[in-house]
Chains A and B, each alone.
Chain A
């Protein structure tokens, strides 16, 4: 077995973005044939590894070998030449081209004068779709008109059409469910019999157990190890992924003050996309969790409450009074502060200093006759920096040069400086280090202890279970379940079951409906 060339061998791979080390010397190998899972927290370096192995970016140092030969992947075509294909999570289809054009893109069959032979292309793709049992796709449709799960399947189908020896599935299952998952499962089985090597990145333990013989765990840009799936338990894997056992991470939960009237009440709130007829209440001093699969309306819910996405139906009441606020400014003035999902594109001005960033939402309070009161500004920002524990260097250094954890703290500081009574936190711990996570948990606790309320969405269900007083579960844009900690029913299985739509009174709207 040792003599046989490994399908993939990675040695000491490093890649840095500014101050952040996405990969800090990771080494692992994948045997030929079969499926292999690549696990790790957000920010552990999985996506960077896939991008490096697909030729999208180039490593700072380290080597990559494919089937025994050391290769240099300068562009995706180099990876293709070595038989490596990737179905990406951020889909790589051109929205303005048709399904057919996307399928053959970059490798179109040509005839005289380099003209694309559309007839040949059509024949090939039709045959390929038939083999894959993809029957619901119109080759002439523009990709931008298709639903997320259709696009996801095209992405996978295209990678397959290029006859890979090694196939990466980069969270390719995130938009697939039910029947489509079975479809993918069958394909994976077929590929295995043909001796194709599959590397899956996934967050779902069931997929690891269902498809993969081996699993490699990454943490903080390092490899933790490669294991036989049958030889490790789920608990062991989780511990390897987060670096310690779960229980130690979370602070003790506070009891929410049983309050008379809710701080925030939503009644049948509807947005243009996804969120439909959403009602719930947020109580004083409570951490209310929001759970749901991707695209179930959580993003729209937070954006709408932050004043950034229009609410087209229903009402929002703050302290019992109906409001019509329609901009982030007006939300902030009502005491609602928002920590968005993407700190780099929505949370921070990467080119400005920490001080400019943290003060951005309260500039008016720092202004006298149009002039900024610098002394007051610096004092208040510095005070808030103490609260979230960031180095004072951040006052004048541009935020782009800080690590993910510190950046997130600055976004939090900006939100807290507005002195909000409601904090909207959208996945605040995504891609931050464990230490920072703990600090963010403590901050949330301190905030609610003083009477503030938190609405928290997290892509990691354990966070919801361990931090929240109650969790609302979204499915198809509405609240299908409210799980309360008081009644002792708050558990991961409880949340997941509701999130998957297994609730009797849920009337699901599919993702496809939301898009088209």
Chain B
């Protein structure tokens, strides 16, 4: 078909295939939606289109730079919020101030990127966890500066970036996008640009070829931060005000846009222009929802589905595509069916040495400390820090009454139960980002179905728990069978669950907790809340499950190395699915308990639980890449975080400080553990 084209053009088409497909798709849908009316290409329509998608496009361009190096940046949305808040708080009407504020906004983005880049490339820490911690730190900073929407952006500033450059002919936003895209082209065609692609496609190879891979990765994070900064400044000019949470819903969209634009997760392939097109394509999808008068809460569902589908489509042809994965599952099932009923073969030759029969060996005695030395060493810091925080609280408050201990234990129970699921997932080498909205959905379902009736508990509680586990199974299927990266699957699931929750509750918090549910958390049994007894039992069962059962062994094995596990005859896929089911179960349980605790369900039920659930796992000594750690250590992490939380509440520090401190704990724990493993 392209035979007549010169070779250079053919190569260009091949290399940019996914970008071109995205662009054509965009044009097709655009025309379909707008019809061939004259209005479709009017100045007004052009301006609205470029304006509304602009922030997302700029942020997605930054994100794609990080993803090209093989990284991941979860802090993007929060950086936009921070810059937006900064611009809105600092701006005056003087031109000098406006220029300065705009540039500083970009610089703030770059600075956050610098912190990310430093931890990721020079300290070699996991990008996902580093940027997750930064997400909460930066979000906290934004809320510190401006707790509620407000701020001031001058009219001149708005006109300059978001008005009409040439009135009724050329919107300013088009110029902004053109400048940024030219900048990207300059970056892409520089030595640094080529190095980014080389590092993302094979870091070891790039280093051996003479590229300073660490510097390249660091610079990519800084530049990405600058892009988010530009996005934040642009957003401020467009909205004319500040909102500390404006970036929150953008995170999922950013990843969806990047993948939609043809940039491969894992690095080395794609580009920022594709991401910009992907962003506009995504906005178009959402516009369609509006046009058909569909409720707005479907947007996160659309974002999530688009992300998953785009990743799946991008996989086609790759070595680990979902098609091959499914074929493998089918083949294995067929093999299992065909060998069913056949007894496993045990070869007679029991002894090999000398051919003579030996006495059956006696199990050698191993001291507990020898077996558990590593676990104890990695869990100890959490407990020591916990004791220090308690002592600090003691000094601050004066005395530690029974009320303190009681609330410490009750609050720890919620987080501890949730953390068990996350521990299992992290031990298996994954991450579950879907817990916040799963908790909220479970809470809403529980309150809605039970309707305050105690009799209904008998069937409602099991049903909600089964729902939680089933959602976990869906996560697990996406990861284990379709081969989606855990972060993509659970991030998308979180968005989809958000949409479902909003659909179910119609956006309002309804439903009261049954008496018994409230008694569990707020009543008393042998002097303390029944929940505490329940949690003690839960911890015992959880510990045994992970250390002494067949499933526990499989989880550790898979987390250590799925390849070795598979070759050793451990069925990796069922193990992963089970692990995510456990996490879903735990999240649902926490949702139920929180409804009981609060007396009613609300839409913010799970919002504060994502970072803590991961922070305690890391602080408790679980290796973030999986395969090593102990649930009892995680409970130490839980106690530490809850003690910190109570201390913060006791002081006059604003609420936002909590997420900053939790983020710092996560980073600190990562660093402390990293050093120990290096030594």
Contacts and interface: CB of A to CB of B under 8 A. Distances in A.
Interface of A: 54, 56, 75-77, 80, 86, 88, 90-98, 101-102, 105-108, 110, 113-116, 140, 158, 306-308, 310, 323-335, 338, 340, 345-353, 356, 360-361, 363-364, 367, 370-372, 374-376, 378-380, 382-383, 386-387, 392, 395-396, 398, 414, 416, 418-421, 443, 446-447, 449-452
B557 A356 contact: yes
Contacts, number: 263
Given A94-B205, A349-B561, A327 B210 contact: no
A411 to B, nearest CB: 10
Contact of B347 (A98, A370, A452): A452
B339 A334 contact: yes
B402 interface: no
Interface in B343-359: 344-355, 358
A392 B550 contact: no
B672 interface: no
A378 B363 contact: yes
A108 B351 CA distance: 63
Contact of B205 (A92, A101, A450): A92
A416 B352 CA distance: 9
B333 to A, nearest CB: 8
Contacts of A102: 209
Contacts of B570: 329, 360-361, 363
Given A349-B557, A420-B345, 14 more contacts: A76-B210, A77-B210, A97-B197, A101-B198, A105-B198, A113-B186, A308-B567, A310-B331, A328-B568, A329-B569, A334-B345, A349-B565, A419-B345, A451-B347
A352 B556 contact: yes
B345 A335 contact: yes
Interface in B318-335: 327-328, 331-332, 334-335
Contacts of B557: 349, 352, 356, 360
B630 interface: no
Contact of A372 (B191, B205, B211, B553): B553
Interface centre among A324, A398, A443, A449 (most CB of B within 10 A): A324
B272 to A, nearest CB: 16
Contacts of A56: 207-208
A428 B197 CA distance: 37
24 contacts: A95-B268, A96-B269, A97-B198, A105-B198, A110-B190, A116-B189, A306-B567, A326-B332, A327-B335, A327-B569, A330-B335, A331-B569, A347-B564, A349-B564, A363-B570, A375-B363, A382-B363, A386-B353, A396-B370, A419-B347, A419-B350, A420-B347, A446-B354, A447-B349
Given A323-B339, A348-B564, A350-B560, A379 B362 contact: yes
Contact of B207 (A76, A158, A349, A371): A76
Nearest to A449: B355
B553 A327 contact: no
Contacts of A323: 338-339
B39 interface: no
A97 B198 CA distance: 7
A200 to B, nearest CB: 18
B363 A115 contact: no
Interface centre among B192, B195, B366 (most CB of A within 10 A): B366
A94 B197 CA distance: 8
Contacts of A110: 190-191
B202 A345 contact: no
B28 interface: no
B563 A345 contact: yes
A378 B192 CA distance: 54
Nearest to B556: A352
Contacts of A107: 210
Contact of A105 (B194, B212, B628): B194
Given A346-B564, A361-B568, A446 B344 contact: no
A430 to B, nearest CB: 17
A96 B567 contact: no
B550 A367 contact: yes
B550 A386 contact: no
The 6 closest A-B pairs by CB, nearest first: A335-B345, A326-B335, A450-B349, A106-B210, A96-B201, A92-B208
A352 B205 CA distance: 29
Contacts of A308: 566-567
Interface residues of B, number: 81
Contact of B190 (A115, A324, A382, A421): A115
Nearest to B563: A346
Contacts of B371: 353, 396
Contacts of B550: 363-364, 367, 370-372
Contacts of A392: 364
Nearest to A117: B189
B316 interface: no
Nearest to B566: A328
Nearest to B195: A106
A96 B560 CA distance: 29
A353 B364 CA distance: 15
B11 interface: yes
A92 B209 contact: yes
B225 to A, nearest CB: 21
Interface string B2-27: 00000110010000000000000000
Nearest to A358: B568
Interface centre among A54, A370, A386, A396 (most CB of B within 10 A): A396
A363 B567 contact: no
Nearest to A307: B335
Nearest to B571: A329
Interface in B258-281: 268-269
B401 interface: no
A323 B364 CA distance: 40
A310 B361 CA distance: 39
B548 interface: yes
Contacts of A140: 7-8, 11
B361 A382 contact: yes
B334 to A, nearest CB: 6
B330 to A, nearest CB: 9
B549 A371 contact: yes
A166 B332 CA distance: 52
Contact of B352 (A94, A307, A350, A447): A447
Nearest to B198: A94
B374 A398 contact: yes
B105 interface: no
Contacts of A338: 567
A308 B570 CA distance: 12
Contact of A356 (B191, B192, B361, B553): B553
A350 B374 CA distance: 14
Nearest to B185: A115
Contacts of B211: 105-106
A330 B567 contact: no
Given A94-B197, A327-B332, A370-B551, A351 B560 contact: yes
Contact of B339 (A54, A330, A346, A375): A330
Interface centre among A329, A371, A376 (most CB of B within 10 A): A329
Nearest to B212: A75
Contacts of B190: 110, 113-116
Contacts of A92: 202, 204-206, 208-209
Contact of B569 (A77, A332, A356): A332
Contacts of B658: none
Interface string B176-188: 0000000000100
A395 B360 CA distance: 17
Nearest to B550: A367
A202 B345 CA distance: 43
Nearest to B200: A96
B360 A97 contact: no
A396 B366 contact: yes
A328 B569 contact: yes
A219 B216 CA distance: 38
Contacts of A447: 349, 352
B47 interface: no
A46 B610 CA distance: 49
